[in-house]
Structure 1
Amino acid sequence: MRTNRPWRGIAVLLAAAYTMGILIAGEPAAAHPLSATAILLDVAPDRVTGSVQLPVDRLAAALGRPLTAASVTQPAELGELRGYLREHSAAAGTDGTPWQLEISGGRVERVDDVDHLICDLVLTPPGGAVGDFTLTWTAILHRLAVHQVFVGLRPAGDGEHAVAGTLTWQRQTLTVPAAGVVAPQTGFLAAMRLGIEHIAEGADHLLFLIMLLLPAPLLARTGRWVRAGDPRRSWLRVVHVVTAFAAGHSITLALASLGYVSLPVRLVESVIALSVLVSGVHAIRPLVRGGEAWIAAGFGLMHGLAFAALVADLGLGRESLVTDLLGFNLGIELTQLIVVALLMPSFLALDRTRLYPGFRIVVAGTGIVLAAAWFAERTTMIGGNPLEPVTDHLVEHPFLTAAAIALVAVVARSVPSWNRDAAGHTDGRVDHDRAELAG
């Protein structure tokens, strides 16, 4: 009966940590949107013209009512949607002087295999001469925390749009340079910031990495996980996982961005949800010995296609693509290292307690359930994701989540009956397996 006590303890601690997170969480947000808004601007001497591409499904979620490709172009609905966009957008000079902003037109096009409402934009400065200006955009962002708005910029009719920046629910104003050309250094930094934001705000990417880190302190023996007992071996396994994931997504990110690989976005997003599910199962029972590195590399290929879709949304030209890809990839890797630094010390500390098997199964089981909901939503088996509040907590409060896990580790280490070292005993089966490994 003593083996059940850790389960009761871990259930209480996790329930308290989760409840605390949900209580301060914001309003619902999608785990990883199939598409994003794109604002493409052409800068002329006397005005700025362009278009805005809004995913119909994200519009429907933000407005809280059903919208379809057919309904959004109906005169009454379209007029109301244009009014909504005007209320949630503004432009002004760097001195704060408002510009005139006009939104007109309205047609539906397929972008990334998702229906988008395309409207035309005209921004006119009061003095008749375009200078640097600020663009404020809150449409959809004010309701969907993980939605992103990509802003592309070019001199009127000259080449392709270069990335000017990204708007999110946290940052809804962007300074746009009048020259219409983003300097290479600015483009690199903007792409790096985009990579950081995409991982930080993508619950599926985060959860995939967490599922792969869960068994890092362990070794697979006879179809089960056992303690490795060597922190250096655990950190080496983390290096293998992060490197494998980086290699996988870097390959397809480059190939897809250069136009050599292309898959439907919905298929890519569905496989990403499947990758979280598979890695969660592996965290409970090892599918393959050392399999987390193979899982990271294999599914990393599909994650790279999703990353490439974000870069492609702005239609970056070949002259800036290499710089942008380097910045974007660096942003992804930096964020992954931050996740590792936040979580692995807690995982390693918990591994030295009798709670870690229960903790690992509870967290992996939660990941499996969330992944199953994402997979059902992205394959259109269900119309909406009922577990969005859980992903909200993960996306909007990552440091709170890491702190809650650290709290669990501290409490577990401080209770003698849970702490293997303090209690002076370990699982005999684990000792046997470690003896076999040593031999």
Structure 2
Amino acid sequence: MKRLLSALFALSAFLSAFLIAVPLLVGGLASPAGAHPMSTSAVLLDIGDDRVEGEVQLPVDRLAVAVDRDLTRDSVLGADRAFLKKYTAAHISAVGDEDRAWTVTLGTGSVRTIDGTPHLVYPLEIRPPDGRVTDFVLRYDVIVEELLTHQIIATVRHDFDRGILKAGDARTLGIFDYTTKSLEVPAGGGSWLRGFAATAGLGIEHIGEGADHLLFLLMLLIPAPLVATGGRWRSAPSVRRAVGRVVHVVTAFAVGHSLTLALAAAGVLHLPSRPVETLIALSIAVSAVHAVRPLVARGEALIAGGFGLVHGLAFASLIGDLGLDRGSLVTTLLGFNLGIELTQLLVVALMMPSLVVLARTAVYPAFRVVVAVVGLVFSVSWILERAALVPSDPFEGIQTWLVEHPLLVAATVAVLAVVARRTAPRTSADAHDGL
């Protein structure tokens, strides 16, 4: 048993270092771009395998000066609509290798208030003649060809092969002004590996910052070192048995969420986010009750697998927000799932050695019940908030603090385990374990 406990603690130390290193590596791949200053234009690009999509944002007041017309929110979509679209399209072009022209298409314009200023916004699509996106030069002088003080900020907000997946990863490409009318867009030098690493980092981030997912896993781990006998919890006969139960729990949850994650990401399943988030909160309540008193024999594996299906739908909603094409979907699912599983293993490695030690002391029954009750209170609060029965969660501050200090929480439980082992050891592994 001592050798097995030593191995568990060693794994805990390794994964702790991994948790610190991976976000730094993933985060180092991008430099975020903020909102553009008032009355500047913006070009936002989403780079795919066979096309570049995005939008152009034109401040109406600056556009009016450039075209020498009195423009309003209504006129840009009414009397001046055709003229403005033709004018804008004439001042945007793209060329690839050997100066081959790419097709540039503007969609239907709309008016949007950005940074307090009305902007005329056009969807943008750029297609290469051979259907394969590579490095290209974007030429752009909308407004600035007449208004020399104007600036246009060009930003890449999505490029899977370069690990740019979400708003926080967006990278400023450069600035168009009266001296700079073209910018090179690096669209062909990335690799699937960077996208894979970025989605894995996204999985780590999603679980690491998701108080509900972490609490659900913790509620399942609390009874893992025990066995249900006669409707009550007793200490597991061996550490090997306890570790085996943990493996069953983690595996069941992984299978459950992986199944619905894949189906939902592929468009086979779809549920509104509010019911899904409410069911996640319910899953925590059920697992907390099970931690107090076993609902069914080996119930934590059943709960993990069953409610893992629900958690997978929540994971899929995040992938849907990334706007990935089908070409990168498999890589995205694999990377995202890897990040989730690595974070789960880290939680297990941080908590289970301490829980295994605590489970063999007289302190564990009280510890288990107190933690389960806290989890139940949090889950009920989430259920009420997500079902729109209360305006806010009164425990949000506590939950945020706990999520932001995982190592401190794990260290506190470890210290408690050491103290309890020395001061309140259980004389028999088969001794009754309370409720």
**Aligning the two structures, in what range does the TM-score lie when normalised by the shorter sequence?**
0.5 to 0.7
Write the distance in 2 (CA, Å) between the matches of 1:335 and 1:119. 43
Aligned position for 1:324: 332
User: In 2, Cα distance between the equivalents of 1:391 and 1:319?
Assistant: 38
Q: Note if 1:179 corresponds to 2:182.
A: no
* TM-score under structure 1 length normalisation: 0.61
Q: Is the 8 A contact 1:163 1:314 kept in 2?
A: no
User: CA separation in 2, counterparts of 1:324 and 1:198?
Assistant: 14
Q: Which amino acid aligns with 1:319?
A: G
Say yes or no: does 1:411 pair with 2:419.
yes
Q: Select 2:240's aligned residue among 222, 227, 232.
A: 232
Q: 2:199 aligns with which of 187, 191, 214?
A: 191
Measure how far apart 1:222 and its partner are: 1.3
Pick closer, same or farther for the CA change 1:40–1:287 going to 2, 3 Å. Answer: farther
Whole-angstrom CA distance in 2 between matches of 1:205 and 1:425: 34
Task: Spell out, residue by residue over 1:305-333, the C-alpha distance to the aligned partner (whole angstroms, 9 max, x if none).
Answer: 00000000021101000011000000100
Change (3 A) 1:152 1:214: same
- Indicate how the Cα distance of structure 1 residues 121 and 337 shifts in structure 2: closer, same or farther if over 3 A, else same: farther
Q: Which has the larger radius of gyration?
A: 2
For 1:318 and 1:179, how far apart are their aligned partners in 2?
22
Amino acid at match of 1:380: A
CA change 1:43–1:293 in 2 (3 A) is: closer
2:409 aligned partner: 401
Report whether the alignment pairs 1:253 with 2:261.
yes
Deviations 1:399-430 (A, max 9, x none): 11111111111221221xx122xxx4678646
Letter in 1 for 2:295: L
**Contact 1:42 1:180 (C-alpha < 8 Å) held by counterparts:** no
Q: Distance in 1 between matches of 2:390 and 2:43?
A: 33
Partner residue of 2:45?
42
1:18 corresponds in structure 2 to none
Identity %: 50
Q: What is residue 19 of structure 1 aligned with on the other side?
A: none
Given the alignment of the two structures, is residue 350 of structure 1 paired with residue 353 of structure 2, yes or no? no
CA separation in 1, counterparts of 2:154 and 2:419? 49
Query: How many angstroms apart in 1 are the aligned matches of 2:197 and 2:381?
Result: 34
Aligned twin of 1:152: 158
Does residue 164 (structure 1) correspond to residue 164 (structure 2)? The answer is: yes
Runs of 4+ in 1 over 6 A off after TM superposition: 127-130, 133-136
1:371 aligns with 2:379: yes
Read off the aligned partner of 1:288 and give its amino acid letter: V
Matched residue type, 1:178: V
Cα deviation 1:55-91 (Å, max 9, x = unaligned)? xxxxxxxxxxxxxxxxxx9xxxxxxxxxxxxxxxxxx
Q: How much is the aligned-residue C-alpha RMSD, in angstroms?
A: 3.7
Q: Distance in 1 between matches of 2:43 and 2:307?
A: 32
Q: TM-score, normalised by structure 2?
A: 0.62
> Alignment length, in residue pairs?
299
Task: Give the drift of 1:242.
Answer: 0.5
The CA distance in 2 between the partners of 1:40 and 1:323, in whole Å, is 28
Please state whether the residue corresponding to 2:185 is helix, strand or coil.
coil
* Deviation at residue 378 of structure 1 after TM alignment: 0.5
Are the aligned partners of 1:228 and 1:234 in contact in 2 as well (CA < 8 Å)? Answer: yes
- The 3-state SS of whatever aligns with 1:193 is helix
Provide the rounded CA distance (Å) in 1 between the counterparts of 2:170 and 2:328. Answer: 24
1:243-270 deviation per Cα after TM superposition (whole angstroms, max 9, x unaligned): 0000000000000010000001101000
Give yes or no for contact 1:208–1:276 (8 Å, CA) kept in 2: yes
Bigger RCO of structures 1 and 2 (CA < 8 A, at least 6 apart):
1
**1:115 alignment partner in structure 2:** none
Contact map agreement 1:162 1:315 (CA 8 A) in 2: no
Aligned with residue 317 of structure 2, among 309, 321, 328: 309
**Conserved? CA contact 1:199–1:206, under 8 Å:** yes
